[in-house]
């Protein structure tokens, strides 16, 4: 099954993650190899109409540099402090296994050389400190995993390009499940995936994703994290 794991999507999660009170506890649904569980380990180059802002981890520049076009008001100032992280996937990928890493590389379009280089660099970062990845169905695993979140942390449940693989009834069931959990919910999905997102007047249907926070759309994003464009007004939650 397709399991693309694009670390570049951290660039469009960071404007929200960096503004949450930390330390953060991250749970990624549909984590694949967990590359997006490390937004605090990558460097970012945000291009605005007035110039470029570079955001590095506290320890200095990362071997992974993610480029993203963004509106000036949304540029994050720093990476978040992540105290705990875990992921859920039907078939977790171990980037320490060259065969499994090659599979992820195979899923990158042939002409996307920058993404291929980013995959290898991010995989090296993750391999040095592998994440906890639980194998199983999100409906079975998520409730128990939430109970393990350390006290004193801000829980964030997030996913990117995952819910499209669920049937509509399953998506609605997931929304009900995550709304009942005490935490922040970030969804970065295609405009047609979540209910009513496709009605947003500011979101074109030519490949943009919609980033929502607790069901409220806040930005349209590039599907591989290449762009973040804040919505002028936030509609009611989905």
What is the DSSP secondary structure assignment for residue 80, as one 8-state letter? P
**What confidence score (pLDDT) does residue 206 get?**
64
Q: Rounded to an integer, what distance in angstroms lies between the CA atom of residue 58 and that of residue 41? A: 9
Question: Looking up tokens 């591989």, which residue turns up?
Answer: 224
- 184 backbone φψ class: left, alpha, beta (φ>0; ψ -120 to 50): beta
| pTM attached to this predicted model | 0.92
According to DSSP, residue 18 is labeled: T
Polymer length in residues for the chain:
238
Residue 117's CB: how many other CB atoms inside 10 A?
13
- Of 135, 219, 197, 140, the residue nearest 173 (C-alpha): 140
Query: Would the pLDDT of 88 be above 50?
Result: yes
Structure tokens at 150: 């350390």
Per-residue pLDDT at 238: 45
Using an 8 Å Cβ cutoff, are 43 and 61 in contact? yes
What tens digit of pLDDT does each residue of 224-238 get? 999 999 986 554 444
**pLDDT tens figures, 121-131:** 999 999 999 99
Alpha carbons 65 and 118: distance in angstroms, whole number: 8
User: Per-residue pLDDT tens for 173-212?
Assistant: 999 999 999 999 999 998 878 765 545 555 555 678 999 9
* CATH placement of domain 7-230: 3.40.50
- CA-angle at 95, arms to 93 and 96, nearest 5°: 125
pLDDT of residue 81 exceeding 90, the answer is yes
Burial of 21 (0-12, 13-18, 19+ CB in 10 A): exposed
What pLDDT, on the 0 to 100 scale, is given for residue 199? 53
């Amino acid at each position: 099954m397709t399991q693309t794991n694009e670390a570049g999507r951290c660039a469009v999660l960071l404007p929200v993650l960096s503004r949450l009170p930390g330390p953060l506890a991250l749970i990624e649904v549909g984590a694949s190899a967990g590359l997006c569980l490390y937004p605090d380990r990558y460097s970012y180059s945000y291009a605005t109409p007035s110039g470029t802002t570079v955001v590095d981890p506290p320890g200095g520049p990362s071997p992974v540099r993610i480029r993203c076009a963004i509106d000036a008001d949304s540029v994050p100032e720093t990476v978040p402090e992540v105290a705990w992280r875990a992921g859920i996937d039907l078939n977790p990928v171990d980037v320490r296994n060259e065969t499994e890493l090659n599979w992820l590389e195979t899923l990158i379009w042939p002409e996307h050389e920058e993404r291929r280089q980013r995959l290898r660099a991010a995989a090296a970062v993750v391999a040095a400190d592998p994440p906890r990845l639980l194998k199983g169905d999100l409906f079975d695993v998520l409730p128990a995993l939430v109970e393990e979140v350390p006290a004193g942390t801000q829980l964030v449940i997030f996913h990117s390009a995952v819910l499209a693989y669920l049937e509509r009834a399953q998506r609605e069931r997931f929304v009900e499940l995550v709304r009942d959990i005490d935490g922040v919910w970030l969804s970065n999905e295609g405009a047609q995936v979540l209910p009513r997102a496709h009605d947003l007047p500011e979101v074109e249907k030519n490949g943009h994703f919609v980033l929502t926070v607790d069901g409220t759309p806040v930005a349209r994003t590039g599907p591989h994290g290449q762009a973040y464009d804040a919505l002028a007004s936030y509609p009611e939650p989905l």
